[in-house]
Amino acid sequence: MHRLVPFVFVLLLLVAPAQAQQAAPSGSTSDEAAVETRRPIPYPIQPRPSFQRAVEKGTRTTDGTPGENYWTNYARYDLNAEITPSDSMLHGSGTITFINRSPDSLRTLALHLRQNVHAQGMERTRRAEITGGMTVENLAFDGQDMVELTSRADLRREGMGYVTDATRMRVILPQSVAPGDSVTLSTEWSFRVPGEDNFRMGQDGEVYYLAYWYPHLAVYDDVDGWVAELYQGDGEFYMGYADYELSVTVPEGWIVGATGKLQNPEEVLAEQTQSRLEQAANTSDIVNVVTEEDRGAGTATANATNEDGTLTWTFQADQVRDVAFGTSAKYVWDATSAETNEGSSMIHSMYRPGTSQWDRSAEFSQFSIEHLSDMLMPYPYPHMTAVEGIIGGGMEFPMITLIGGNRNSPESLFGVTYHEISHMWVPMIVGTNEKRHAWLDEGTTTFNENEGASEFFGTDNWVPSENWFYRFAGSAQEAPSMRHADLYPSDGPQRVYASYAKPGTMLHALRGVLGDETFFEAYREYVDRWAYKHPTPYDFFNTFEDVSGQELDWFWRGAFYEKWSLDHAIESVDTSGDQPTVTVEDRDNLVMPVILKATYADGETVTRKTDVTPWMNGERSVTITLPAGDLEKVELDPEAYLPDVDRTNNDWTK
Ligand SMILES: [Zn+2]
C-alpha cells in the first residue's frame, strides 16, 4: 500500500486514454472509443490522517507491524452479579481499575452502559424491548462518591463528576491519571434483563444470558484517543483488554457457563459433576457431565451455601476484552477437551435436552478449536463454552458463545458454532473495531467458517451455488464494506452482505491471487502481530503487502471500498498459429488477475495467472499465448477463487 506513490497513478491516468484510442475499433470516433473502453482504475489507499499521525509518532508503521512506541491501555475488573429469576433482575457491584499505559494524562474516562440500548428514547438501528436500561446507583473514586450530573454541559461546568449520555458514561476525575498510573472506580448498578427476541443477550424465563451487563471502559487508543460510540443495535463493539475476577450468584441447581476459569468447583458443583469434568479434561470423547436426570441441586450443582438458597460461582479471566455468562436450571452439560498445539483446552456445551442437533455441540466446538488452532494460532484460553438459547443466530464473547436453540441440520449448528468460535481469534484476540470495520472480523470469520465447514463435511463451501455472496453481487443490495456498521439501511441485507459474505469471498479471492502458502503466511502473521492489540484495516493491508512483497492497493480498493463486480469472459480462442492464444475480456469493473487453465488432447494441463497491469492500464481485454499443442479445453478460474458473477462465459471447448 505504501509502496506506490500517488503520482505514478496520475501518469497511468494520463496514459490510459491514449491506449484506449489505439485499441478503438475501426470506424468509431476516438471519443466513442474512450467511452467504450473507459473503466474505473483503482486508486491508492490513503490512510486516515489520524493513522498517518500515529505512524509519525511511531505507534504504527507502514509495513503492518505495530510501531516501536505502540501501546494499549489495560484494566482490571472485579465484578459481582446476582441474578434473581423471580423478578428478572441483575444486581451488580464491583471495581474497575483503569491502567493508563498511554503517553497522555487523562482526566476524562469514557465508559459504555450498553444496556441502555433498552432505555426509552434511544437512537437505535434495531427494535429493542424497553426495560428502562441500566441504573447506576453510585460511582465512587478512591472511596469517595462522585456527583452524578444530568448533562454534559453541567459536567463541563462542574469540572468533576459523571454523566450518563445514552449508552455511555463520561467521568471527569478530580485529578488526571498520569501515564503509568491507574485509577479505581467502584460502582453498583442494576437492570431488568430483557426478554427473549432481543439481540445478543436476555432471558426467556429458563435461560439467562448476561452480556453488556456492567459499566465497561471504552477504548482509548493510539490512533483516535477515546472511541466511545453509541451502541445502537447493529454496530457491534470495540473493547480493550483486561483481567477479570467475576462472581455470579444464582439459585442452587442453576448451571453457570462464563468467560474465565471456574475458581471454586468444589463449592458450587456436586461431586459427581466435578469428577466427570476431570474425566472430560483428559479425553477427546464427549462426557455427559450433567444429564437430564442429574439436573438440580445436590446432583448437578452443590446445595446452596448462601442463606437465601443461592450459590456464588467465581471465575477468573486474564487478557480478555469482556466477560459474559449464561445460566439455567434446565441445562444439561457435555464436556470434552481439544488440542490447541500448545496444550489442551476444555470444551463445554450447555443446552436444554432435546434441543435439536445440540447433542453434537461439543463435538463441533472441539473440531472448531482444533481447526482454528492449526490454521491461525493456538487457542490461548482455558475453555470454550457454547450455551443454548434466547437468540436466533449466535453471538461471541471471550471463551463463551450464545447460540439460538433448535437447528434443522448438523450443518446449521456446525456453521454457527464454528463462526462464533472463530471470533475468539478476531475480534477477541485480535481486537479490531467492529463498529467501524465490521468486515475485519466478520469477513475473516466468514472465510474461516467456509474453510472449517468444507473440511468437516468434505464439501466445497466456496462454489458459487453454496456461496451467499453470489445472490447479491452487483445488485442494488450491495454496499461497500468500508463503512460504519450503523450506516447501512437497517432493514436490508446490505450490512450483512458487505460485512460477511462479500469480504469473506474477497479473502478467498486474495488467496487465489497470492496462492495458499503466501496467503496463510500473511494471515497468520497478521494475527500474530496484532494479538491483544487494535489493528486498523491499514495494518491488515500493510501486513499482507509486507509478507507477500506485493503492492495490493488495487485489490483492497476493489474488494473493500467499492462495489465493483467481476466478469472475466473468454472472448476468443485462436488455434490457427504455432501456439494457441486465448483472448480474455474483462466485462465488468473489479480488477482481478486472469486465472486460466488449459487442457490439451494428451491430458496435459497448463495454468496461467496474469498480473493486473493490463486492467490498471485501462485495457478491457488481454491475450494469453499458450504452449504449442492440441488444445482441447480452456477454463477461467476453474477452482472458483475469484468472485466472477457470470461463469457461463468462462469455458471454451474445442
Ligand atoms: Zn460473526
pLDDT 10s digits, 392-443: 899 999 999 999 988 999 999 999 999 999 999 999 999 999 999 999 999 9
Distance 497 CA to ligand 1 centre (A): 12
Q: Which DSSP state fits 487?
A: G
What's the pLDDT at 34?
53
Residue 29: pLDDT over 60? no
Residue 464: pLDDT over 50? yes
pLDDT band at 38 (very low <50, low <70, confident <90, very high): confident
Give the residue-averaged pLDDT of 633-637.
98
Distance 486 CA to ligand 1 centre (A): 16
Distance 423 CA to ligand 1 centre (A): 7
pLDDT band at 10 (very low <50, low <70, confident <90, very high): very low
Distance 279 CA to ligand 1 centre (A): 32
Distance 396 CA to ligand 1 centre (A): 7
Distance 293 CA to ligand 1 centre (A): 35
Measure the CA–CA gap between 585 and 470, rounded to whole angstroms: 20
> Sign (positive/negative) of CA torsion 638, 639, 642, 645?
positive
Domains identified in the chain and CATH numbers: 6-38 (no CATH), 440-561 (1.10.390.10), 568-653 (2.60.40)
Residue 225: pLDDT over 50? yes
Kindly state the greatest CA–CA separation across the chain.
Answer: 95
Distance 446 CA to ligand 1 centre (A): 7
What's the pLDDT at 196?
75
Distance 192 CA to ligand 1 centre (A): 26
Distance 567 CA to ligand 1 centre (A): 29
pLDDT in tens, 539-575: 999 999 999 999 999 999 999 999 999 999 999 999 9
* Closest alpha carbon to 250 in 197, 335, 193, 321: 193
Distances (CA, A) of 266 to 82, 336, 349: 20, 19, 20
Measure the CA–CA gap between 638 and 128, rounded to whole angstroms: 46
Measure the CA–CA gap between 284 and 566, rounded to whole angstroms: 45
Q: How far is CA 499 from the centre of its chain?
A: 9
Measure the CA–CA gap between 82 and 250, rounded to whole angstroms: 6
Write the ipTM: 0.97
What's the pLDDT at 592?
98
Which has more confidence, 11 or 256?
A: 256
Distance 442 CA to ligand 1 centre (A): 5
Distance 419 CA to ligand 1 centre (A): 6
Residue 2: pLDDT over 70? no
pLDDT band at 32 (very low <50, low <70, confident <90, very high): low
Distance 402 CA to ligand 1 centre (A): 12
* Closest alpha carbon to 590 in 498, 464, 506, 487: 506
Measure the CA–CA gap between 545 and 551, rounded to whole angstroms: 6
Could you tell me the end-to-end alpha-carbon distance of the chain, in angstroms, rounded to an integer? Answer: 42
Residues 6+ apart with CB under 8 A from 511: 519, 520, 641
Of the listed ranges 110-119, 459-468, 557-566, the one predicted with least confidence: 459-468
> Could you tell me how many helices (H) and strands (E) the chain has, helices first?
16, 32
